[in-house]
Amino acid sequence: LPDTFECELFSDEPRFEHPLLAGCQHFRVDRPEDIGGIPESHFYGVGEDGDIIENTILLGDVEVPQDGLARRKYFSKNSNLAKYHFETDFVYTFDFFSNFFVPSRYRLDLTPFFSIDLIPYFNGYPLFMSMAKEKASGKYLWATEMWHKRLLNHV
C-alpha cells in the first residue's frame, strides 16, 4: 500500500484514509474566472469520452504528472504530497470510481468467488466515499457519505 494510505479496519472506529490526489481517477484545477459563463447543462473540463481532462498546471510544479495514473503514483508518496495544500482561490474537480465496491450490496467484490460484506465493519456508520480533512486540526472541510438500509439494522 502507498505510504499515504491509512487504515484501521479492525479498530473500534474503523477508517480508511487516502489522500484525494492519490486516489481519484481524474483531477483538475481551474481558476473560477476561466469557467464562468458556461451554461449549467455543460461541464467544464470534460472530454468527449465523459472523463475529466487532467490538468495540474495551476499547482505550479512541472514535476506533477499530467495523466491520472502517474499523478496518483506521484501523490502516493508523503514527500510529494507534503509540498501542496488546497487554495481557496481555485476550483478543484475530482472524479472517483471503484470497480470493487458494489453500493447496492454494500460489499467489496474482490473476485467472482470472494466478496466481503462491509456492514459489520462500519458499526452502523456510513461509508465516507470522499472527504477533505485538515490533518493538523482534524476538522472536515466536506464529506460525502454513503448509507445503506442494512446499516440501520446494525445499530
Reduce the DSSP state of residue 32 to 3 states and report it: helix
**Tens digit of pLDDT at every position of the chain (155 positions):** 667 777 777 777 766 677 778 888 889 999 988 887 777 666 778 888 888 889 999 999 999 999 999 999 999 888 998 898 888 899 888 887 777 788 788 888 888 899 999 888 888 888 877 667 777 887 877 777 888 888 888 66
Q: Which residue has the cell 496518483?
A: 72
Beta bridge partners of 94: 27
pTM over 0.85: no
Q: How far apart are CA 39 and CA 128, in angstroms?
A: 30
Q: Which long-range contacts (C-beta less than 8 Å, at least 24 apart) are formed by 121-128?
A: 121/9, 121/10, 121/14, 122/14, 122/151, 122/154, 123/12, 123/13, 123/14, 123/154, 124/151, 124/152, 124/154, 124/155, 125/151, 126/151
Reduce the DSSP state of residue 18 to 3 states and report it: coil
